[in-house]
Structure 1
Amino acid sequence: MQKLIDGIDYFQRNIFSHYQNVFHRLTLGQQPLALVITCSDSQIHPSLLTQTGPGELFILRNAGNLVPPFGSAHGGEAATIEYAVATLKVPDIIICGHSYCGAMTSLIHPEKCGDSPTVHAWLANAEATLRIIHQNYNQLVNDQERVTKAAEENVIVQLQNLRTHPSVAAALSRHELKLHGWIYCFETGQVSVYVPQLHRYLPLEQVYSYSNCETMEGVST
């Protein structure tokens, strides 16, 4: 706790003044560049990864970067997505999974959760991911490879769930919104992007053009 308190003190004395104009402008309203749906894992730092500052990302975090299908639960996920799309008009939504994901490990090995009924219930939102792993990746002997594949397949499953949300479906139909699936390998810093036409992930630099920040044609899911 002391590290957090010391950090706030340092921020107030040395950092805040450099961002004071930004924070003042944000009191008038926010216009984030994207909604990022990612894992609660402490190893993931979306703003550090994307080098974005205050007001630039609208972030939704939960265990396993899960998106319950619309109507299955009236919780924070659905409300956050609807607000980002319908009110803030974000042009992009990114679902970002990651390597060594504890939620995916617990999905494959529920016994590692111990007596955590709420965690088990929450991971039911990744039941399709679990079935894909059991039926399509049984040949993988290495457990970490199975977790990695689970993280990759889970992003694709959650993108499908995201499309069930009315605000998302409506914005997609107006061509005002793009969906993106990312996997972040935190131990190397590499980001891979799902390309639905190829049914595979490719390195970010192969998918996006840095000159105009547009995706390769048809890459957005």
Structure 2
Amino acid sequence: MVESSIDNLFKGAIAFKEKDFLAYKKLFEDLKEGQNPHTLFIGCSDSRVVPNLITKTLPGELFVIRNIANIVPPYRQADEYLATTSAVEYALEALKVENIIICGHSHCGGCAALYEEEHFEARMPNVRNWLKLIQGVKERVLALQPKDKIIRSFLTEQINIENQIKNLFTYPNVKEKYLARTLHIYGWHYIIESGEVYSYDFKKHEFNLLKKDTR
């Protein structure tokens, strides 16, 4: 009998409890009293992007928000249900995180979908509406007249990260905390096929490869 993917997930959950959990039993016992993550990690929902794997962090270190194209909507209060906005607000005000990383990645389907809007009209209207939040990114990229799709994708992913950083500064007290250096903000571009991470330079407005001697 061929095992299904869900069978493997059930087996994995059992194996975790019987083996891996034991290695971190004391940590999980401590975490039952509450969480105190040092970093808010805002990433894409893409299954190829695994925050704890990329950052080599343990349970309790990252407060993670994931959505299509790692978008941070501009701050606003509303009667509707604002999942990402609420989570960012909670991380800032309740958890008082010290760091925020906005992590985009190569081959991002959400960013690519900006140029394929006709496919979302009927089948995925909510996705299409969500991506309206980054239409300005598309306009900026097209104004640069990239010579091929590879360059267009790279530019879209990086400009999108930069755009979400700007949106983050619309949240209450973020600018003040950032200037006071009580909150540190980073933009990362993760390259799936190489494992490389490029970090955004706020002064030069460019992404530089993370190396052992960089922070």
TM-score clears 0.5 = yes
Q: 2:27 corresponds to which residue?
A: 22
Distance apart, 1:21 and its partner CA:
0.9
Distance apart, 1:188 and its partner CA:
0.1
Does residue 38 of the first structure (1) align with residue 43 of the second (2)?
Answer: yes
Distance apart, 1:61 and its partner CA:
0.2
For 2:139, give the aligned amino acid: R
CA distance in 2 between partners of 1:145 and 1:90 (Å): 34
1:69-93 CA-partner distances (Å, limit 9, x unpaired): 0117651111111111111111110
CA distance in 2 between partners of 1:71 and 1:17 (Å): 43
**Which of 120, 127, 130 is the aligned partner of 2:128?**
120
Contact 1:100–1:144 (Cα < 8 Å) also in 2 = no
CA distance in 2 between partners of 1:109 and 1:64 (Å): 14
Moved over 2 A (4+): 111-115, 167-175
For 2:85, give the aligned amino acid: A
Distance apart, 1:141 and its partner CA:
2.9
Q: 1:130 corresponds to which residue?
A: 138
The unaligned stretches of length 5 or more in structure 1 are 209-214, 216-221
Q: 1:143 corresponds to which residue?
A: 149
Contact 1:35–1:92 (Cα < 8 Å) also in 2 = yes
1:13-36 CA-partner distances (Å, limit 9, x unpaired): 111111111111011221212101
Q: 1:85 corresponds to which residue?
A: 92
For 2:61, give the aligned amino acid: E
Structure 1 vs Structure 2 CA RMSD: 1.7
CA distance in 1 between partners of 2:133 and 2:176 (Å): 23
Q: Which structure 2 residues correspond to residues 1-221 of structure 1 after superposition, within 5 A?
A: 1-71=6-76, 74-113=81-120, 115=122, 116-136=124-144, 138=145, 140-205=146-211, 208=214, 215=215
CA distance in 1 between partners of 2:121 and 2:83 (Å): 25
CA distance in 2 between partners of 1:105 and 1:72 (Å): 30
CA distance in 2 between partners of 1:146 and 1:152 (Å): 10
Contact 1:85–1:171 (Cα < 8 Å) also in 2 = no
CA distance in 2 between partners of 1:206 and 1:156 (Å): 23
Contact 2:121–2:128 (Cα < 8 Å) also in 1 = no
Contact 1:82–1:168 (Cα < 8 Å) also in 2 = no
Distance apart, 1:171 and its partner CA:
2.6
Contact 1:86–1:167 (Cα < 8 Å) also in 2 = no
The unaligned stretches of length 5 or more in structure 2 are 1-5
For 2:127, give the aligned amino acid: V
* Identity rate, percent: 34
1:113-145 CA-partner distances (Å, limit 9, x unpaired): 452110110001112211111112x1x232122
Change (3 A) 1:134 1:178: same
For 1:59, give the aligned amino acid: V
Change (3 A) 1:201 1:72: farther
